[in-house]
Chains A and B, each alone.
Chain A
């Protein structure tokens, strides 16, 4: 979580300057256009291919059939009818996987009214029309782990999506990826940095002890609830009649799934002590924490994390924006990696997601990661953390054809995504985007002109901020 107004402001300015072109195009786009590419066969040829798991291939080609990688190598022939992309001088790597994202959520990122909002399900409120999806695509991201904010100890049900801009909510879902649940520890769930709302009874908890208590309480209830159902089901199958079934509780259902290993736990955390607390609580209730998110003091307990087998998804170099972030260091990712933890670098932010390649590159400077290790932190490592490494995260035969094509080495500050491809379809094409802007601007002008006579007398009331409004959802987002 970063709640640091100045930094956000700076980011917005940066965003405005650096990405103004892309942003302008995105703000104009309305109903997302469908991905391009009619052919089921695509050949990307003569590229520098960063396979991630099998080295780098110079002047190589990738053949894609029906959305899957069919061949990779130096000599791949183009079948008849293939859509050939000449990538001479370009770099191809697997699509970036953002293990911590808040994009494409409609109507509020937090159900912040309660400390356990497990019943709140991101899948219910996916917004496929959120322009941030397209912005992320323009930054080479193809998969995002969409999470609640961190207002509650247990935030609710999460989902992994592919950024198939133009698909509907169901079409975004990464089929086969296990759903998750978001936990949060520390200052945010105990509301340390938030003013009380007048007239509202202050929400429990107000301490880290209380956060632990909320989690323990919820799982105690979930265990009892599970037993209730197990007893009911066995009585029913034993032929008993006139049974009163337990009342189905949408808050406890997902926690039972956690207990049964059907749902991953992704927990927002900062401090070493609370991290160890959560791992102990999970042992007590016999469930596994899949990833620790942000985990800025992970370097202090890296050995323990490696021993437990939990993934760590962190920032490159954000720190000191609140008390629990004072001890953060940019060497965090590298130290945890060296101690054997699977580490990913996440965005937590729609703007940050546009240059995760550069965020990963920072681990080379801070901690001496190799370029391969660095790129893994935004590709195969988050895939492993999300349990989707059989499908995505590297360029290997049989995997999903999710790529980003850069004009430079992806770890270079000059690298700009040219095309972003998911399941063998082009969802972002920089040239086409730029070429299409004039038409969109014209359409916009035409519609505005059409409205003018009707609204002329109204004094031009403007409709507030919307999905395209820069900074529209910063204040309360609380990532």
Chain B
């Protein structure tokens, strides 16, 4: 009898839960459309970072800017006064490396065929041809330095609200794909009618990706040594182009004119503007390679990744360059740190499981910030593929546990990052005149139990969304609401595709968060890897994985459409496109959680 009652009650509960959930999501939108541009938060503990904490202080915000801060500050009558008793106010956190804000990750345009390119090696500077048929540096494979993140922002990227809700008000947003994927911008995670309103500094960094070998015959460059020679050639060419062009301009008669090349022009501009070139190096070997090569490029540069930096902090310090630490610490079941600055993790160890080297790497990576800090290195944190903002803070807490002073950690997430990104005159600390980017918490920002209460971005107040935990297991969790109006990809999928005529299968265990982010694992005969990033938008999904293969890492981007319990789409392995279909076995009944039934 009891069980019957429960059964009857369950759907109702689920509906109620769903309703609350949806409501909660909508409440994350900023508090009132017509809110006043003046705020005062009083009686709070204020951590300005630029100075000592104020135990019981007031902050006045006016038209997006911090007007005054202190223990005794007069509150203008027009301000909306917020009681900050028991709360702590920090500067908004800065993520120094992400693609949040660019919409769901885009599958490389280089897929299948390519656009133009004119065979036979004619078109240097022409449109990037398909990477698969790239035949040398002159084809400028996967090279789009003219893509500015500032021009690619999508204000409807659902991840913006998630990251803002976790306390991240600002990020260095960078395009992701290619050797020269484009240029990064410093972006405030606010809301507005126009995405351009989010930009704080439109041109802030020129990231470089080295793919570390993605199959040795897949179009130039395909091996790490080819990648390195290619990137170096581009810098040489850009510098040569500028030199040759000015020599030609001074004396065109009788001289051959240098050929126009869009890449050369844009990269030369970046070099001329002393833009920060981000050179990846994650393992000790990668880092040493970076320390040797990057200084030969003749550019201002910074190291990214650096997860095995604990092994050589002094060598890194000697280079006197900032370090963008990938805070996505390596975890079991992962090939290594994902994303930019990742890529150079270690695979496991065949039949013996993970090697001692890999185990040591995973154990010690979180000690890197402490080691670099002690060696006097300036560093910041990049989230790069870390699941949620809470995960970032937890990973920073691991570093604090490994010896990093908490104030140094906070500085790296605020003023330190602003300094390295060249925006410390406007963000990064709580000082009069600076942009009102604040995060208000009910405790120490690195304590696990702490919740973010409110966030201010450009002086606009946002309530924190309920924290959505990334699930620990791949099993079907019931009672989920799904993204507003979107389909839920959660479940275990069998993916089918054909490689050179042979049908192959993979299994994907996916879980979708309320913000549309997809986490989980994917398994094939090559092993099991974690989804490095995934996102659902309506019924369109994207998933990325990094698969260790032959001692290298293959980055695979998938995208497609979810239709009930079937998927279809294509996967892109740096230039090569492969169609796949997927089904969710046993989804009509027993295995699926009640969430599927409640969903509209």
Q: Which residue of A201, A242, A250, A472 contacts B550 across the interface (Cβ within 8 Å)? A: A472
Residue contact A110 to B347, C-beta cutoff 8 Å? no
Cα distance A465–B524 in the bound complex, in angstroms: 13
Render A414-445 as a binary contact track against B, CB cut-off 8 A, 1 for contact: 00000000000000000000000000100110
B408 close to A (CB within 8 Å): no
Indicate if A35 sits at the interface (CB-CB under 8 A).
Answer: no
Instruction: Identify which of B219, B224, B349 contacts A106 (C-beta below 8 A).
Output: B224
Question: Can you name 19 A-B residue pairings with CB atoms under 8 Å?
Answer: A110-B217, A110-B223, A111-B226, A113-B226, A156-B225, A194-B217, A197-B576, A242-B250, A245-B244, A447-B356, A447-B363, A457-B472, A460-B333, A462-B333, A462-B353, A464-B527, A465-B348, A468-B355, A473-B550
> Does B431 lie at the interface of the complex (its beta carbon under 8 Å from any beta carbon of A)?
no
The answer to whether A461 and B285 have CB atoms under 8 Å apart is no
A322 on interface, CB distance cutoff 8 Å: no
Interface centre among B217, B219, B240, B256 (most CB of A within 10 A): B217
B255 to chain A, nearest CB (A): 6
Q: Which residues of B contact A151 (CB under 8 A)?
A: 216-217
Interchain CB contact under 8 A, A113 and B551: no
B523 at the A interface (CB under 8 A):
yes
B548 CB within 8 Å of chain A: yes
Cα A129 to Cα B551 in complex, Å, equals 13
Kindly state whether residue A283 has any CB partner on chain B within 8 Å: no
The verdict on A451 contacting chain B, using a C-beta distance below 8 Å, is yes
In the complex, what's the smallest C-beta–C-beta distance from A471 to chain B, in angstroms? 8
- Which residues of B have CB within 8 Å of A195? 500
Inter-chain contact A461/B233, CB cutoff 8 Å: no
Instruction: Give how many B residues have a beta carbon under 8 Å from the other chain's beta carbons.
Output: 93
A464 in complex: contacting residue of B220, B348, B360, B363, CB < 8 Å: B348
Taken residue by residue from 323 to 334, chain B's Cβ proximity to chain A (1 for < 8 Å, 0 otherwise) reads as 000000001111
Q: List the B side residues contacting A27 at CB < 8 Å.
A: 349, 352, 355-356
Kindly list chain A residues whose C-beta atoms are within 8 Å of the C-beta of B473. Answer: 457-459
A170-B292, A455-B331, A468-B349 are known contacts. Are A461 and B355 too (CB-CB below 8 A)?
Answer: no
| Residue pair A197, B136 in contact (C-beta under 8 Å) | no
A467–B355 Cα distance when bound, in Å, is: 9
Q: A107-B225, A124-B228, A156-B225 are in contact. List 7 more A-B contacts (CB 8 A).
A: A119-B229, A248-B236, A464-B335, A466-B347, A466-B355, A468-B349, A468-B355
Q: How far is the CA of A121 from the CA of B230 in the complex (A)?
A: 11
Rounded to whole angstroms, the CA-CA distance of A125 and B285 in the bound complex is: 9
Residues A107 and B223 in contact, CB atoms below 8 Å apart:
yes
Contacts of B550 in A (CB 8 A): 465, 472-473, 475-476
| B333 and A458 within 8 A (CB) | yes
Contact of B500 among A117, A198, A251, A467 (CB under 8 A): A198
Q: How far is the CB of A257 from chain B (nearest CB, A)?
A: 15
Contact of A30 among B357, B472, B530 (CB under 8 A): B357
Chain A residue at minimum C-beta to C-beta distance from B360? A30
A277 to B215, CA, bound (A): 31
Chain A residues with Cβ under 8 A from B476's Cβ? none
A455-B353 Cα distance, complex, nearest whole Å: 14
> Is the C-beta of A94 less than 8 angstroms from some C-beta in chain B?
no
Contact B225 A125 (CB under 8 A): yes
Q: Residue among B236, B332, B353 with the most chain A CB within 10 A?
A: B332
Chain A residues with Cβ below 8 Å from B353 are 448, 462
Q: How far is the CA of A156 from the CA of B216 in the complex (A)?
A: 14
Q: When the two chains form their complex, are residues A465 and B548 in contact, meaning their CB atoms are under 8 A apart?
A: yes
Give A455's nearest chain B residue, CB to CB: B332
Q: Chain B: which residue is nearest A113 at the CB level?
A: B220
Give chain B interface residues in 187-216, CB to chain A under 8 Å.
212-213, 215-216
7 residue pairs, one from A and one from B, having the closest CB atoms? A107-B224, A108-B223, A466-B347, A461-B333, A469-B350, A463-B348, A461-B528
Q: A interface, by DSSP: helix, strand, loop or mixed?
A: loop
- Is A247 close to B, CB under 8 A? yes
Question: What's the nearest-Cβ distance from chain B to residue A31, in Å?
Answer: 7
Contact of B226 with A464 in the complex, beta carbons under 8 Å:
no
- Chain B residue with minimal CB distance to A128? B285
A455 surroundings in chain B (CB, below 8 A):
331-333
Closest approach, in angstroms, between the C-beta of A46 and any C-beta of chain B?
Answer: 37
Nearest-Cβ distance from residue A213 to partner chain B, whole angstroms: 15
Does B538 reach chain A (CB closer than 8 Å)?
no
Q: Are B552 and A244 in touch, CB under 8 angstroms?
A: no
Q: A169-B288, A199-B132, A455-B332 are in contact. Are A31 and B224 (CB under 8 A)?
A: no
User: A201–B219 Cα gap in the complex (Å)?
Assistant: 10
B251 at the interface (CB under 8 A from A): yes
Give residues 302-357 of A contacting B (CB, 8 Å).
Answer: none
Q: Tell me the chain A residues, 156-205 only, with Cβ under 8 Å from chain B.
A: 156, 168-170, 194-195, 197-201, 203
- Which interface class (under 10, 10 to 19, 20 to 34, 35 or more) fits A? 35 or more
Question: Which residues does chain B contribute within 8 Å of A112, judged by CB atoms?
Answer: 216-217, 222-223
Query: Known: A108-B216, A243-B247, A462-B348. Contact between A199 and B130, CB under 8 A?
Result: yes
Given the complex of chains A and B, what is the CA–CA distance between A28 and B357 in angstroms?
A: 7
Is B225 in contact with A476, judged by CB distance below 8 angstroms?
no
* Residue in chain B with minimal CB distance to A120: B225
List residues of chain A with CB within 8 A of the CB of B247: 242-245
Chain B residues proximal to chain A, CB less than 8 Å: 112-113, 119, 130, 132-137, 212-213, 215-230, 232-233, 236-237, 240, 243-244, 247-248, 250-251, 255-256, 258, 283-285, 288-289, 292-293, 311, 331-335, 346-363, 472-474, 500, 509, 521, 523, 526-530, 547-552, 576-577
- A231 within 8 A of partner (CB): no
- Specify which chain B residues have a CB less than 8 angstroms from the CB of A473 in the assembled complex: 550-551
Contact B548 A107 (CB under 8 A): no
Q: Which of B137, B284, B354, B356 contacts A440 (CB under 8 A)? A: B356
The CB with the most chain B CB atoms within 10 A, among A124, A127, A149, A460, is that of A124
Give Cα distance in the complex from A458 to B521, angstroms.
Answer: 9
A385 to chain B, nearest CB (A): 23
Closest to A441 in B: B356
Known: A30-B355, A113-B220, A245-B244. A466 touches B212 (CB 8 A): no
Within 77-108 of A, Cβ neighbours of B (below 8 Å) are at: 105-108
Q: How far is the CA of A461 from the CA of B240 in the complex (A)?
A: 48
Per-position binary interface string of chain A over residues 214-258, scored 1 when its CB falls under 8 Å from any chain B CB and 0 otherwise: 000000000000000000000000000011110111110000000
- In the complex, the answer to whether B332 meets A111 with C-beta atoms within 8 Å is no
Question: A468 near B352 (CB under 8 angstroms)?
Answer: yes
Could you say which of B283, B357, B548 has the most chain A C-beta atoms within 10 Å of its C-beta? B357
By a CB distance below 8 angstroms, the chain A residues around B224 are: 106-108, 124-125
Interchain nearest-CB distance for B366 vs A (Å) = 12
Q: Within A23-56, which residues are at the interface with B (CB < 8 Å)?
A: 27-31
Task: Assess whether A470 is interfacial by the CB under 8 Å rule.
Answer: yes
Contacts of A113 in B (CB 8 A): 134-135, 216-222, 226
| A464 and B357 contacting across the interface, CB-CB below 8 Å | no
Instruction: For A124, list chain B residues within 8 Å (CB).
Output: 224-225, 228-229, 289, 293
Task: Let me know if B359 and A462 touch, CB within 8 A.
Answer: no
Q: Whole-angstrom distance from the CB of B36 to the nearest CB of chain A?
A: 46
Bound CA–CA A120/B222 (angstroms): 10
Least CB distance, B473 to chain A, in whole angstroms: 5
Known: A128-B285, A455-B331, A467-B347. A107 touches B113 (CB 8 A): no
CA of A27 to CA of B352, assembled, Å? 9
- Report the minimal beta-carbon distance from A39 to chain B, rounded to whole angstroms: 26
Within 8 A of B (CB), among A129-168: 129, 149, 151, 156, 168
**Alpha-carbon gap, A471 to B349, bound state (A):** 11
User: Which residues of chain B are within 8 angstroms of A203 by Cβ–Cβ distance?
Assistant: 217
A463 to B526, CA, bound (A): 9
Contact status B360-A447, CB under 8 Å: yes
Residue from A109, A194, A201, A464 within 8 A of B133 (CB atoms): A201
Q: How far is the CA of A244 from the CA of B257 in the complex (A)?
A: 9
Report the bound CA distance from A465 to B250 in whole Å.
57
Given A469-B347, A470-B350: A28 touches B355 (CB 8 Å cut-off): yes
CB neighbours of A465 from chain B (8 A): 347-350, 526-527, 548-551
Smallest CB separation, A239 vs chain B (Å):
15
Give the residue name and chain of the A residue nearest to B575 (CB): A199
